[in-house]
Amino acid sequence: MREVHPREILIATIARLLDGVRHVAVGASSPIPAAGAMLLRAQKKRAGAPPVRLSILGSVEHNFFTNGSAELFDCAGQGRIDAFFLGGGQIDGRGNINLVGAGEYPGSTPRWPGSFGSAYLYFVVPRVILFREEHSSRVLVETVDFTSAPGTSEDGVYRTGGPAALLTGKALFSFDKTRPGFTLESLHPGHDLAEVKAATGFGFAHAGSPKQTEAPDRATLDLLRGQIMDELSETYPDFASRLRSETAA
């Protein structure tokens, strides 16, 4: 068995984080979350468990929506979407995310595209997974420069959703909304606590010697490298062929 690719760790971790969802939506250009959701769907199907529904926004293949671009948000508002992924140019230690820009608003430099649906979905999707491969103190900051959506809300604010986890290229964190703050759950293979601390602009809770992020077992890896890459290549052909060539090395 070949070495496990770092992105395969991410995909398998996402599948674990999604365990139990009935319907997960992923953004149009999110191949790793999509692959994780496809992996979970395949695992559940093999186990004869209730089906997992995956909606990929902007995809024709995986578009279950017929009411325009408002339907995703309506669907989430109805409680029909259990999990979603958000990223951000900045993510801070309280789970606040910034998709708008660095520096003083509105003259943000750099300016990022904008908040998209985050200021709604972060509130109403029960299991939001913050996903950003880049793990640096540029991205993971003490305090965001602009809050596209806050990580937590005061009591009395309607909120059925929020951050469940933060997954980066180096580590996996869970989110504790009572503190609020992140807890290091595991380090991906090849990364250590000192490195992660240095690369993280906010403080986080952690065990004395953190666990290593679980690598996919052989059955999972076979599924991932076979069926899942086939499915993925329908929607993300470039990503799938790149990952395939890198794992075939």
Partner 1 sequence: MDLREMARRVEPGMLLALPVDYAGVSMAMTKPLIEHGAGDLRLFCVPTGGLQVDQLIGAGLVRSIETSAVSLGEAGGAPRFNQAIREGTIAIRDATCPAIHAGLMAAQKGNPFQPMRGLIGSDILRFRDDWRVIDNPFADGGDPIVLIPAVKPDIAIFHAPMADRHGNVWIGRRRELAAMAYASAQTLVTVERIVDENLLASEMSAAGTLPSLYVTDVALAPRGAWPYGLWGEYPTDTAEILRYAKAARTPEGFAEYMASSGASSMASSPATSPSRPALEPAQ
Least distance in Å: CB of 4 to partner 1? 27
Q: Pick from 95, 102, 112: which is nearest to 145 by CA?
A: 102
β-sheet bridge partners, residue 111 = 101
Kindly identify the residues of this chain, within the stretch 126-185, that bind partner 1 according to CB under 8 A. Answer: 146-150, 153-154, 156-158
**Range 43-49, long-range pairs (CB < 8 A, 24+ positions):** 43/15, 43/220, 43/223, 46/223
Is-contact 18 220, C-beta < 8 A?
A: no
Among 15, 35, 121, 140, binds partner 1 (CB under 8 A): 121
Is 145 or 214 the residue whose CB approaches partner 1 more closely?
145
State the Rg of the chain over Cα. Answer: 18
For residue 37, the tally of other CB atoms under 10 A from its CB is: 29
> Between 73 and 92, how does the x/- string for binding to partner 1 read (CB under 8 A)?
xxxxxxxx------------
Kindly identify the residues of this chain, within the stretch 93-112, that bind partner 1 according to CB under 8 A. Answer: 99-101, 105-112
Length of the chain: 249
Least distance in Å: CB of 244 to partner 1? 20
Kindly identify the residues of this chain, within the stretch 41-80, that bind partner 1 according to CB under 8 A. Answer: 51, 53, 58, 60, 63-71, 73-80
β-sheet bridge partners, residue 129 = 85, 165
Contact set with partner 1 (CB under 8 A)? 23, 28-29, 51, 53, 58, 60, 63-71, 73-80, 99-101, 105-124, 146-150, 153-154, 156-158
